[in-house]
Amino acid sequence: MRRKEKRNNITRREFLTFLGLAGLGGTIMLLRSCLGKEKAEEINKKIEEDKEKGILTALKEINKKLKKIEDRNEPYQYNLQDLLEVLKNKELNYPIKAYFIDDSYLALDTLWEEKNDYVEEKFKDEDLILKFRKLKEKILKNFAEHYKGYIENSDDFKKYLSLVISESLIVLDLEKIFDNDRYKFDEMQKIFIRNLLREENLLKLLNKTLFCLILVEICYADKDTEINKEILNYLLARRGLRFLVSIPAIFDKVLSFGPFQISEFVIGENKDKFYPINYINRFVIEFSEEERKEFNLPIYKLPERLDDFDLRDHFRAEIYLLIYYFLELVKNVDIEILKNAYKEDEGWFFIQLCYYWAGCHHLPYLTQKLFKEFLEDNNNIKNKKSFADFIQDKNENLNIYLNRFREILKGAE
């Protein structure tokens, strides 16, 4: 089959080089993590025979599994009474209060109206309220017309996240990012990034970070992680993934919704502003229509606007946002300090990276500044100090958020 010679300004030769480095975590490891050893080795043989066709086959298998999950339109059985019994003495606030409305459509409608009530009470901004009402109509129409993506429990959900992580890394040309004007990494920095992204433990912690961020953002009812996980179990089994991606950030005047409550601060189309997700999205490989049809692949480029996101886009966008913060860390902190922290204790370093990711998700600029200070004090590295402890007296908002994240991360182990 004749291929197009260029994709997104990347020549065929460069594309084949990219395929050999797919995800920089090692293609076979990524495939094992989401497809299983047997299927991964089968595809790896195809990659050895024909890199381009092998990777396209891998992406086809991943997309097939993801679509099967996303297209499930029948809810799973779930004993809601047990959960309600656990929650009966707890004071529940929105968004959780609305999760137990019998009708999913009505539950989402209630959440978006609660957001508008908040905007009306705090800001008296009629134009903004109208904007959110129009968006609500769009989101509810999308929810009503598409498959819901029911998942039986959080363990199966983590498998879904693993598939999305693998897909997202495989189609991201990190080598192009390395040499972009924003970074221009030297060889030592490139080696450090490649080595870390070959670490299976780091990819597992990326999965866990995504999972824990969701619990903090839309399922936090108690310090007990099991209770928060059970709320997520209920949502997955009875409401579905499409419900998760439609939940608005109520107590906020900006456009922000979905499982990670991604906002218009990190993605948008204003050419005068810098958006991290849009930046990383520039380096996502585009396949030709011919290839997508042959291998049954989606369009991997994310939309430029948050309100144009489809279901899977929310998860891929958060992965790219965390990758962006990781690259910023390598850019802003002396590479010798990072190497020293990693060599001192890999497990400790990875946990601190999880705290860094969570902090950046919530308050990016402050977290980047404080994490740099944290690592530049060698005593914190030698004595295995916790970044979550380091920031306790620095900023109350960040402290509360990271303490919640830490509780959930420990409970999720």
pLDDT one digit per residue (tens) for the chain, 413 residues: 333 334 444 444 444 444 434 443 356 677 777 888 788 788 878 777 777 888 899 999 999 999 999 999 999 999 999 999 999 999 999 999 999 999 999 999 999 999 999 999 999 999 999 999 999 999 999 999 999 999 999 999 999 999 999 999 999 999 899 999 999 999 999 999 998 988 888 889 999 999 999 999 999 999 999 999 999 999 999 999 999 999 999 999 999 999 999 999 999 999 999 999 999 999 999 899 999 999 999 999 999 999 999 999 999 999 999 999 999 999 999 999 999 999 999 999 999 999 999 999 999 999 999 999 999 999 999 999 999 999 999 999 999 999 999 999 998 86
> Is residue 284 within 8 Å of residue 302, measured between CB atoms?
yes
Q: Are 73 and 150 in contact (CB under 8 A)?
A: yes
Q: What is the DSSP string of 318-376?
A: HHHHHHHHHHHHHHHS-HHHHHHHHHH-HHHHHHHHHHHHHHHHHSHHHHHHHHHHHHH
Cis peptide before 248 (omega within 30 of 0): no
Q: What is the pLDDT of residue 405?
A: 98
pLDDT of residue 54: 83
Tell me what pLDDT residue 24 has: 38
CA pair distance 322, 328, nearest whole angstrom? 10
Radius of gyration for the alpha carbons in the chain, expressed in angstroms and rounded: 21
